[in-house]
Amino acid sequence: MYMNWNIVLFDTFLGALMLGTISVLSQKFMNVPQYYKILAFIWSVPLTFFFFINMTSRAGLNHVQNFSRHAIIGTVLTVIFALLTIRLSNILSMDSLIYMNFILAVLSVILYFSFRLYEII
């Protein structure tokens, strides 16, 4: 299989630019409460979706459709985890919230591969 290194470098640059910008802004505005609201919005707006759709589009429309279906699965789980976090934030400690989200994320990945959802849907 031929590897187009120009595309790899472009994707790497684009991803690094996106995440690097977020890292710089996080350091600069770490003590500004509105920053985290803006960061959550930017993360949940389909900017990362665009990045991956751009990469997926090179393989064809069928792959874009499949990618989008599985993105919906991940997004629904993220919404559920966010709602749980908000609901339990007055009950659980900060550490417990973090551990809960980590465990739920890992469990989701394990179940996704255990049930081979990538082959079924």
Q: Check whether residue 75 and residue 33 sit in a common domain.
A: no
Residue at token pair 């665009």: 50
What pLDDT score does 33 carry? 82
Q: 72 with 26, same domain?
A: no
* 35 and 82 co-located in one domain: no
**Could you count the other beta carbons within 10 Å of the beta carbon of residue 116?**
9
Alpha carbon distance 21, 85 (integer Å): 26
Global confidence as pTM: 0.76
Residue 119 sits in the same domain as residue 65: yes
Whether 68 and 33 share a structural domain: no
Q: Residue 110: is its pLDDT beyond 80?
A: yes
On whether both 86 and 38 belong to a single domain, the answer is no
Residue 54: which of 45, 40, 64 has the closest Cα? Answer: 64
111 lies in the same domain as 81? yes
Confidence bin at 103 (pLDDT 50/70/90): very high
Within-domain flag for 76: yes
- Over the stretch 7-31, which tens digit does the pLDDT of each residue have? 889 889 988 988 888 888 888 888 8
Residue 26 tokens, joined: 């996080």
Does residue 70 sit in the same domain as residue 116?
A: yes
Q: Which domain holds residue 10?
A: 1-45
78 and 103 co-located in one domain: yes
Reading the block at residue 18, the tokens are 């996106």
pLDDT at 64 over 90: yes
- Among 33-37, 49-53, 114-118, name the most confident range: 114-118
Residue 120 lies in a domain: yes
Say how many C-beta atoms besides its own lie within 10 A of residue 83's C-beta.
Answer: 10
Q: What are phi and psi of 116, to 5 degrees?
A: 50, 45
pLDDT category at 68 given cuts 50, 70, 90 is very high
Q: CA 14 to CA 12: how far, in whole Å?
A: 6
Give me the chain's average pLDDT, please: 90
